[in-house]
Amino acid sequence: MSNGLSGDVKDIGLSDQGVSRIQWAAREMRVLKLIRDRFVNEKPLEGVDIAACLHVTTETANLAITLKDGGANVVLCASNPLSTQDDVAAALVNEYGIATYAINGEDNETYYKHIHSALDNKPHFTMDDGADLVSVLHKERTDLLGKVIGGTEETTTGVIRLRSMAQENKLMYPIIAINDADTKHLFDNRYGTGQSTLDGITRATNVLWSGKSVVVCGYGWCGRGIALRAKGMGSHVIVTEVDSVRALEAVMDGYQVMPVGEASNVGDIFITATGDVNVIDKETLDNAKDGSIFANSGHFNSEINIPYLESISSGKRLIRSSVEEYSIKDGRKLYLLGEGRLINLAAAEGHPSSVMDMSFANQALCIEYLVGNAKELGKTVHSVPNDIDETVARIKLHSLGIGIDSLTEEQELYLRSWEEGT
């Protein structure tokens, strides 16, 4: 940027709007606020350089500000080309002095250029969402690895990639899997994805959910949340799975379960949340009803076979924002939302602040933990320490004004004893 600010954002003039929206999100991020207040006083991250690759949203801004208030030098880049909120990126640079490289709609080349810009910060710690930053660091910027002490990873897909790296002994420093914390996946993945996915599809299409047949591909925590919310809106929900236990769980949760091929001519709306490739493949696209809508809520735009969709189409047009109408050669029209990218961030604002509060409280506390402990950890993927997970839950409940019981001495004793029976 030529005006002395560092970063690459769409329009620095959007800063004021970004600041108000960041403040609005902060109202619901009370756990992070408590951490921030402590960080301001204790400065546990003094002298620490962080390269963060996250969705640039109002919630992420509150995390970045917290880390900065803790003394860290943070540089941020986008973890998806379509998820950046341009006003937030402008505010981070202009108001909060956090170098941010993120432009909504950036092409692939710019996306990776921005990752390199974040790495130019020569980080002690990486903070990633999907493992693209870690991947570039290990493949193209190995000169920087000597300084890196540790990292965190936000999401299921990223954790899977990192575990593969660790298994092949390719991971060069310890990374904490934030996604594994109970206070992350039970809430962010389930209630966050559940709400924000329906929000994204609704904002893109304005469809009525009531009475629709909705096919949810994948019954992990995200799929569970999406199915639950679609059911709540009055949809008939069909779940597809490859895992027998999860499929059985979906059956007993009251959903119809069938192979995706069978669901292909039943569904009105198809939503993928598996983390795998070509879940919506040729068979489904060939058999889908005229007017079917396809959306993805997984991290990468690989779950719907878009090249095949293109190949069976005679043309496409953007019929409304985030909705592409494909004219299939056999006369059907199929609709792809948000270019097959994660729809909750491409067409809406991602998860609500109140769940991101817990995910990002884990992030902040884990970076603090790594500052003191990374050197003792092996070069693999680690769980969030239990006491951090419990602390986040306890503070969240407190912030919601909810008290709970604790065990009496008699109950503790009873639980420890094995002699008492029938």
Task: Give the helix ranges, DSSP H, for 206-255.
Answer: 221-232, 244-252
351 is an interface residue for ligand ADE by CB under 6 A: yes
Q: Is 47 left (phi over 0), alpha (psi -120 to 50) or beta?
A: left
100 is an interface residue for ligand ADE by CB under 6 A: no
60 is an interface residue for ligand ADE by CB under 6 A: yes
The angle formed by the CA atoms of residues 200, 205 and 209, to the nearest 5 degrees, is 80
Piece in contact with ligand ADE (CB under 6 A), picked from 29-37, 248-256, 350-358, 411-419: 350-358
33 is an interface residue for ligand ADE by CB under 6 A: no
Site for ligand ADE in 116-155 (CB under 6 A): none
**For ligand ADE, the closer CB: 305 or 359:** 359
Q: Which residue has the tokens 């909504």?
A: 104
66 is an interface residue for ligand ADE by CB under 6 A: no
Query: Residue 217, Cβ neighbours under 10 Å: how many?
Result: 28
68 is an interface residue for ligand ADE by CB under 6 A: no
**For ligand ADE, the closer CB: 67 or 288:** 67
Running DSSP on this structure, what letter comes out for residue 170? Answer: -
Site for ligand ADE in 37-56 (CB under 6 A): 54-55
Residue 155 Cβ vs ligand ADE, minimum distance, rounded to whole Å? 7
Residue type, 346: A
Rounded distance between C-alpha atoms, residue 376 and residue 174, angstroms: 9
57 is an interface residue for ligand ADE by CB under 6 A: yes
Residue 61 Cβ vs ligand ADE, minimum distance, rounded to whole Å? 9
Residue 348 Cβ vs ligand ADE, minimum distance, rounded to whole Å? 9
Nearest to 263 by CA among 217, 225, 317: 217
Residue 51 Cβ vs ligand ADE, minimum distance, rounded to whole Å? 16
**For ligand ADE, the closer CB: 21 or 351:** 351
What the block records as the tokens of 272 is 């993928």
Instruction: Give the burial string for 122-138 (b: 16+ CB within 10 Å, else e).
Output: ebbbbbbbbbbbbbbbb
59 is an interface residue for ligand ADE by CB under 6 A: yes
**For ligand ADE, the closer CB: 99 or 345:** 345
**For ligand ADE, the closer CB: 28 or 324:** 28
Instruction: Give the burial string for 146-171 (b: 16+ CB within 10 Å, else e).
Output: eebbbbbbbbbbbbbbbbebbeeeeb
**For ligand ADE, the closer CB: 178 or 288:** 178
Piece in contact with ligand ADE (CB under 6 A), picked from 158-166, 314-322, 345-353, 384-392: 345-353
Nearest to 123 by CA among 398, 370, 354: 370
Among positions 350, 382, 384, 395, the unique one binding ligand ADE when judged by CB under 6 A: 350
Running DSSP on this structure, what letter comes out for residue 191? Answer: I
Site residues for ligand ADE per CB under 6 A: 54-55, 57, 59-60, 345, 350-351, 356
